Structure 1
């Protein structure tokens, strides 16, 4: 019996080793690209004349809008607050010389996509950044204690990704090139207690993105999901920056180095290293009552002490 089981255990051991080797290989790629930028500056512009960014009025979306405009693309900014869009558009045009188009739309609603489709008509769209998202509460809390915005969160975090991809992907397919960046979160990589709705909605984005990349990779289209951890934005109440907590500009500039690295990346080296260590923690620890208590006490206190409500 022991002799029969020996090959099985050896095979399982080899598979586990290969899985960890693959994770560290991806981390090594990020390490290389962090210090040696091999992506040609013309690469992003070669995708097409226009980039579309959702949630572009602030934070990561705003940072992508500026960086892609600096790379020579014209940009379409989509968000719900017209005043923010107008201010960002003026600044981008003034500092980069790129053309800017703004579309006011509330992604917590489901009746906006025909209007967006009409507004995008005739544009050669090479890049789509599905960035818009909402976090019910930065502080960890039980499901029944979170704000009652379930339908709005589903529309914003899930429907927006599907519908915007549906609008733009078919044109990329006909041109046989394009880049779609879906901004998910590190909490999507495994279920996070006390962030259940946000974690689950961002996990959908990961699965959807990876499946689409498998479908469309041979057609010259890159579809990549990004799973960052802490980025200091209005959604995270402007967490104090550190080696782990990046500014939106830092995160965006680094993430664009990795667009050809594969179907998933954390978007920055620090978060890539962090996720490799977190993956070593057994799931029973994450789902234990002690870990839940830690989130509700020490982590909550950390967030309160290190956020700045501007």
Structure 2
């Protein structure tokens, strides 16, 4: 188990305030300051600094806080499994896009095993932050992640396509479509922090363009309203093909024939690197891949 100084420091990183940390831990502010200084002396590391009267966590301090959160979460999870082996609880996170076509199969696998389940749905950035903070066990993500911090298991590769409504005049123009033609359209796009948005933004960067170059940009935090707007005759968007399988099959939406746009992206089960529970996560992934 970690000692009190470690927990105090992790709390300080979370609150970014000595006062808030003291209030949360029901101790005095000088006691928090003393514990942080004692921890720095013990480790021989600078964990915090002040710049312009602003508390800043050093890179070493952030790494230590991530480690503390990981160890604390995994120790609590292990104790819970030992104390209540008949009712294990698993906490997972899933991105909003994947919740529409992958999450159900994962939940069915866990439910069949008798797991108690808690599921968080958010964008890629939020899911990765939850993993770092230790509030979830693993995440289902399609966005990029730091391979130095997280281990992963590839579940599948998914086509990433451009789509629009069936009678969009854009489709009557010479094909394949150029980026300049796309820029004349209204772009429906996910919010910053979304893995879907990041994939498309990275492709645009390679074409020396950016999202705000489109005639009009509408940001929406979940894929369902984007698909509904597309089928109603509004704009273009870029997303995973599995999100619009039905709409494509029924002719409500059409794949955009964009020059040089042939993308696939990995969908991964992501968990903390060197996790004690890696074998459990690998077993879950194996069931999903089947």
Query: Which TM-score applies when normalising by structure 1?
Result: 0.22
Q: Which has the higher helix share?
A: 1
* TM-score normalized by the length of structure 2: 0.23
Identify the structure with bigger relative contact order (alpha carbons < 8 Å, sequence gap 6+).
Answer: 2
Which structure dedicates a bigger proportion of its chain to strand? 2
